[in-house]
């Protein structure tokens, strides 16, 4: 079974959390935090900044570590490191995702999160953001 290590950016702006919808692959249609696989010799922060530039054409600053989640899908195990981040300027451009939403804490259940994301979403609900 494939093991992959992923970083996820929980981007918060005006008390709202960015959720993006996967536009391709086996998990297409599911909602997630933007991010992706860590490349060789990359730090988590470097990977976060690179992925957000690639996916949203945006620059972020990374504020705090939130949680590391281990999850098994039928075809792979993922280890996902989630960090709270903010945008350096507020524009985003969807280069890989099919849709996005800014969700307040009380709206977090409005989208169909990927199974690996549930623990991070639950933790966010109990935080002061």
CA gyration radius for the chain?
13
Residue 83 binds ligand 8DG (CB under 6 A): no
Q: Which is nearer to ligand 8DG, 5 or 86 (CB)?
A: 5
Cross-strand partners of 29? none
Which residue is listed with tokens 């054409």? 57
DSSP three-state, residue 123 = helix
Spatial CA neighbour of 103 closest among 43, 22, 13? 13
Residue 114 binds ligand 8DG (CB under 6 A): yes
Q: Which is nearer to ligand 8DG, 3 or 13 (CB)?
A: 3
Judged by CB under 6 A, which stretch of 25-33, 60-68, 84-92, 103-111 contacts ligand 8DG? Answer: 25-33
Judged by CB under 6 A, which stretch of 26-34, 86-94, 101-109, 121-129 contacts ligand 8DG? Answer: 26-34
Q: How many CB atoms lie within 10 A of CB 114?
A: 20
Binding mask 31-60 for ligand 8DG (x = CB under 6 A): -xxxxxx-------------x---------
Which residue is listed with tokens 């609900």? 125
Sign of CA dihedral 98, 104, 105, 111: negative
Q: Which is nearer to ligand 8DG, 75 or 89 (CB)?
A: 75
Given the rule CB under 6 A, which residues bind ligand 8DG? 6, 8, 27, 32-37, 51, 78, 80, 114, 116-117
């Amino acid at each position: 079974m494939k093991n992959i290590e992923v970083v996820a950016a929980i981007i918060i702006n005006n008390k709202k959390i960015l959720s993006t919808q996967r536009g391709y692959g086996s998990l297409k249609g599911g909602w997630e935090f933007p991010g992706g696989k860590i490349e060789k010799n990359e730090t988590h922060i470097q990977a976060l900044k690179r992925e957000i530039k690639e996916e949203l054409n945006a620059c972020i600053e990374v504020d705090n570590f939130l949680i590391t989640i281990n999850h098994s899908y039928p075809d792979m195990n993922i280890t996902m490191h989630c960090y709270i981040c903010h945008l350096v300027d507020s524009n985003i451009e969807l280069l890989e995702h099919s849709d996005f939403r800014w969700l307040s804490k009380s709206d977090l259940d409005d989208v169909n999160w990927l199974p690996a994301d549930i623990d991070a979403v639950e933790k966010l609900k109990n935080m002061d953001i």
